[in-house]
Structure 1
């Protein structure tokens, strides 16, 4: 009997353990601190950045001037590149529009050509039918032995 009670107690613990675990609150559920502002020292530190600029009083004036000159050059190249890109885009847009117009004209010409070919084929078929009818009338007239004047209809 004792074995049965011990077995039942163990089974009860196994069944109840997940329910008890779900009801307890974890100890690490403390409120999360607010994320640091993007670009702040803490934000940079969390990402492994270790750069710290020296105060203005410790800056080398020659290095500051050289850096400013480099930055001006970079800025001028970026501006020139943006202007070149805008001009290239404008040329592309013009050429693209010209191509679309040429394509539309070519499509119109192709459709007209197809219509002309169909009209020519229909005219030739009509001519062949008319010629066959004329030849049949001439043959019928000649079969009578008389001299016939057959006019096309």
Structure 2
């Protein structure tokens, strides 16, 4: 029993070891949190507290080639963004056109379907009326034949 308990405890420790290894201690104390809350986001102090640094050199210290390259890259990015916005607007317009065409086609087909159903209902009603008239006529002819008399009747007109 003791061996089983020890084995179970060892297995539990082995299973928990990766989790315990990944657990990190809190990095910021309460005073650091209060201090960082009073710092303006984006300021040099704010960046420094997060382990980052950014310092813009004065215009005199700027490398003209780097400035020109940065301007060129920014213009290229702006041009790509403008092209992407145009493409998105064109895509949205094309979608709206296709959607409008689909709605028109759907409405047209629904109208045709409704007309078909109305025509079918009218045809079924006409067939039922014809079949009733035909059955009545056949019954009348059969009655005349049973009575051995001549009946002059015309069959109902075809529907």
> Does TM-score exceed 0.5, indicating one fold?
yes
Report the Cα distance in structure 1 between the residues aligned to 2:126 and 2:49, rounded to whole angstroms: 85
Q: CA deviation at 1:152?
A: 4.8
RMSD, matched Cα: 2.0
Q: How does 1:1-150 map to 2 (within 5 A)?
A: 32-33=34-35, 34-150=37-153
Give the greater-gyration-radius structure (CA): 1
Which segments of 5 or more consecutive residues in structure 1 lack a partner in the other structure? Answer: 1-27
Q: Which position in structure 2 is the counterpart of 1:16?
A: none
> Which structure would you say has the larger RCO, counting Cα contacts within 8 Å and 6 or more residues apart?
2
TM-score (norm 2): 0.69
Counterparts of 1:41 and 1:47, CA distance in 2: 10
Structure 2 distance, partners of 1:82, 1:44, is 33
Bigger drift between 84-93 and 44-53 goes to 44-53
Distance 1:46 1:110, change over 3 A: farther
Aligned length: 124
Aligned partners of 2:44 and 2:53 also within 8 Å: no
Q: Which runs of 4+ in 1 moved over 3 A?
A: 32-35
Counterpart CA distance in 1 for 2:77 and 2:145 is: 99
TM-score, with normalisation over the residues of structure 1?
0.72
